[in-house]
Amino acid sequence: MLIGYARVSTADQNPDHQIDALLRAGVERDNIHLDAASGAKASRPNLDLVLRLLREGDTLKVTRLDRLSRSVLHLVTLGAELRERGVGLHVIEQGIDTATMEGRAMFGMLSVLAELQRELIVANTNDGLAAARARGRVGGRRPRLTADQAALAQQLYDERDKTVQQIADLFGVPRSTVYGHLTTETVPRQPKKPRPDTPAGAA
């Protein structure tokens, strides 16, 4: 089965160009799913629906990579998930088709670049933390994450690679800082632990 996905950044934008391209690529209109959300927004309900609908042997079609993914890291993660499930990916306007050797090679290169980006962000973060410790910088204003660090934190959280506490430890910030940068739609709030001195069954 061919399943199409389209995205516009706002409800005011016209998705007809994407829909027409998907129709020409053989996707039936009933199998085209549209989100109106910015690329930075982690939660896109119709993309989530598409990923649930896809089965082994199906092909996901989009017009361009930026319609599907908000970052290279997210794209590679999604591409790897589709490959593991036996689902093809065809990016119409950019000529990427994972059913072909060339298309798989393109995703391989993206994967290398994404891993390099990830390692550089972590290395730069660790260097900055080491420099701050060397200068004895403690206390003061609550630390914030850079845009790259926030993107990596979201990626690690979405992939379930690390807990929020582990992500906070990686960047040397409180857990509340990490929560403040994660997309709220994807973050389940953790139940509060009972105080040790609270009697069982107490309100």
Using alpha carbons only, give the angle 2, 27, 20 rounded to the nearest 5 degrees: 145
Q: Is the pLDDT of residue 42 over 80?
A: no
Is residue 101 located within the same domain as residue 118? no
User: What mean pLDDT is predicted for residues 34-41?
Assistant: 70
pLDDT tens figures, 106-143? 766 766 665 666 677 777 777 666 666 666 555 444 55
Q: Is the pLDDT of residue 30 over 80?
A: yes
Is residue 121 included in any domain, yes or no?
Answer: yes
Is residue 70 located within the same domain as residue 136? no
Is residue 40 located within the same domain as residue 128? no
Is residue 121 located within the same domain as residue 61? no
Domain hosting residue 92, numbered range = 2-105
Which pLDDT belongs to residue 25?
94
Is residue 134 located within the same domain as residue 100? no
DSSP the chain: -EEEEEEESSTTS--HHHHHHHHHTT--GGGEEEEE--TT-S--HHHHHHHHH--TT-EEEES-HHHH-SSHHHHHHHHHHHHHTT-EEEETTTTEETTSHHHHHHHHHHHHHHHHHHHHHHHHHHHHHHHHHHTT--SSSPP---HHHHHHHHHHHHTTSS-HHHHHHHHT--HHHHHHHS-GGG-PPPPPPPPTTSPTT--
Is residue 118 included in any domain, yes or no?
Answer: yes
Is residue 80 located within the same domain as residue 129? no
Is residue 12 located within the same domain as residue 77? yes
Is residue 86 located within the same domain as residue 41? yes
pTM of the model as a whole: 0.54
Is residue 89 located within the same domain as residue 120? no
Q: What is the pLDDT confidence band of residue 6, given thresholds at 50, 70 and 90?
A: very high
Q: Which of 105, 136, 169 is the last residue of a domain?
A: 105
Annotated catalytic residue 69: no
Q: Which of 105, 138, 160 is the last residue of a domain?
A: 105
Which pLDDT belongs to residue 107?
67
Which pLDDT belongs to residue 158?
78
Total of domains in the chain: 2
pLDDT tens figures, 60-101? 999 988 788 766 677 777 877 888 888 999 988 878 888 888
Which pLDDT belongs to residue 140?
44
User: What mean pLDDT is predicted for residues 47-58?
Assistant: 92
CATH number at residue 46: 3.40.50.1390
Query: Of 9, 38, 43, 176, which one is the catalytic site residue?
Result: 9
Is residue 92 located within the same domain as residue 143? no
Is residue 79 included in any domain, yes or no?
Answer: yes
